[in-house]
Structure 1
């Protein structure tokens, strides 16, 4: 698609100023794009590796920028690699699955977005990724708060596993955000060193003053997302530790209660056992022997119950 002069239309394949968006492309599709653009096939294959780390790689035919973008999968969150390939004529994005970072640009809602402004296009993607991280981080915080409230009334395994899943999502987010930050800082260093205006890098990443302002905004948003991720991770870990202590404490209380009840119930059994022996016992011939046995058992049980109560075993 092309957005030059505010028009959105389907241009010929690899037309100058085009944006080619590949979602989980086949081998044949990647080979076709590689032949048409002149970029190495590896540039198209790297972003399809789920474990690919963010980085910048230069080649005579273009530059490859890989970042990790967030995706929501039901109640959990993850990150996937997104490759942005910039040549002298086109911009190519490659991702193993569709994601809101690119979808929003493709919808035409983004302001000041033009595919022929390649560096601005790259910065818009970075900015959208940082904003999406912030959005998902707030969602994670709201979900964890809801689970915390549920755990106050019930300590089922499901809620604990949900908290664990959110904690894993936060770890993925903060790790990806820090890796993205390295890419952003490298782009800023290229600009400050003057290498975006000439040389091999400058052929593909040409940055102007307004682009630097956008890049600084991107870095600021990314740093804010990192800080939020660290804060939410700390809160979630504290919550998990607190509920682990509560569960352990509840177990101790239950065990203490059951122990006290067992001791109290053993008293009547012990007294009755004495009078069940086939030996001479005091008062065994009395018509009130059974009643006396019950009274003694009751008195001992009441006395032990009062003692345990004073020691807060109930």
Structure 2
């Protein structure tokens, strides 16, 4: 899908055909749309297709007629019938007369620009537009990281009640999301550092504060991601230890019960053998059966009481 926008005074106008100073937004574009953009602006089609590959790395590419800025943006993905988080590439291509964005799917980062919700946004101010996209991208990472932190707290509360596989899998999914974020944020940091040195993208004094804000926001996102990753990793290890400890407690209790129940079993097994009754104690006593049962029960109770004093049932 291809959409064309241009800012006019205080509003964003949708165009039918490209004009100088416009913004061309490509979302999961078709081959025909890619070919049309390539023909009109002389952009290598491999650069246009780069953000359509989810594994494409963040980078800056400088060509004769355009400059490519490719970063990773956070997205919500559905896994196991629940919303989790991942990243996909977004490219910003700066040409002489237009600016082009290419992404695999619609993202709130660009949607707000399209709806005119971003202050001081002008399609012809390419440098500021790039910085505004990067700033909102870093802010989106921070927002999703806060949501991940809240989700991990909820999962932790559920784990205190029941150590089930469901909660552990949810923790694993959250940890996976944080790994995606860590890799993408560090790649974006390299792009921001290189953006400072690129001469093909003009730097204006009025945009210096915005560039500093972008770098600060991205670093904050990296630090927050590292903190949450450490907390989540420690939580996973702690609950793994708790589950292992609970299993050991259960196995210990079962072993103690087995020992206690084996006492009457040994006695009954001895009396159940086909042996001469003259050699068996109490074999000639009319109350011998009851006496043997009482003795075995008493011995079991004595052993059970001893184990209880040693806290072996806990």
State whether residues 84 and 93 of structure 1, in contact with CA within 8 Å, keep that contact through their aligned partners in structure 2.
yes
Corresponding residue for 2:38? 34
* Separation (CA, whole Å) in 2 of partners of 1:101 and 1:7: 18
**Helix, strand or coil: the match of 1:15?**
coil
State whether residues 11 and 116 of structure 2, in contact with CA within 8 Å, keep that contact through their aligned partners in structure 1.
no
Corresponding residue for 2:171? 163
* Separation (CA, whole Å) in 2 of partners of 1:293 and 1:161: 53
Match of 2:233 among 232, 237, 240: 237
**Helix, strand or coil: the match of 1:235?**
helix
**Helix, strand or coil: the match of 2:202?**
coil
Match of 1:251 among 224, 247, 251: 247
Task: For residue 42 of structure 1, report the CA deviation from its aligned partner.
Answer: 2.0
Corresponding residue for 2:291? 292
Task: For residue 189 of structure 1, report the CA deviation from its aligned partner.
Answer: 3.0
Corresponding residue for 1:122? 130
* Separation (CA, whole Å) in 1 of partners of 2:99 and 2:117: 19
Q: How does 1:261-276 map to 2 (within 5 A)?
A: 261-276=257-272
Please say which of residues 215-224 and 68-77 is displaced more in the overlay: 68-77
Corresponding residue for 1:216? 212
Please say which of residues 19-28 and 301-310 is displaced more in the overlay: 301-310
Is 1:98 the counterpart of 2:97? The answer is no
* Separation (CA, whole Å) in 1 of partners of 2:122 and 2:46: 26
State whether residues 12 and 114 of structure 2, in contact with CA within 8 Å, keep that contact through their aligned partners in structure 1.
no
Deviation per CA, 1:147-201: give whole Å up to 9, x if none. 11101111111111111011000000011001001111111234xxxx3xxxxx1
If each structure's strand is expressed as a fraction of its own residues, which one has the higher value?
Answer: 2
Q: How many residues align?
A: 302
Is 1:78 the counterpart of 2:82? The answer is no
Task: For residue 300 of structure 1, report the CA deviation from its aligned partner.
Answer: 0.9
Match of 2:18 among 14, 39, 42: 14
Please say which of residues 23-32 and 264-273 is displaced more in the overlay: 264-273
Match of 1:49 among 28, 47, 53: 53
Task: For residue 294 of structure 1, report the CA deviation from its aligned partner.
Answer: 1.4
Corresponding residue for 1:282? 281
Match of 2:152 among 125, 144, 148: 144
State whether residues 14 and 36 of structure 1, in contact with CA within 8 Å, keep that contact through their aligned partners in structure 2.
no
* Separation (CA, whole Å) in 1 of partners of 2:102 and 2:47: 9
Please say which of residues 12-21 and 26-35 is displaced more in the overlay: 12-21
Task: For residue 112 of structure 1, report the CA deviation from its aligned partner.
Answer: 0.9
Task: For residue 232 of structure 1, report the CA deviation from its aligned partner.
Answer: 0.4
* Separation (CA, whole Å) in 2 of partners of 1:91 and 1:303: 86
- Provide the alpha-carbon RMSD of the alignment: 1.1
Match of 1:25 among 29, 39, 44: 29
Corresponding residue for 1:198? none
Task: For residue 38 of structure 1, report the CA deviation from its aligned partner.
Answer: 2.3
Corresponding residue for 1:207? 203
Give the gaps of 5 or more residues in structure 2: none
Deviation per CA, 1:44-72: give whole Å up to 9, x if none. 11111111111100111110000000001
Task: For residue 12 of structure 1, report the CA deviation from its aligned partner.
Answer: 4.5
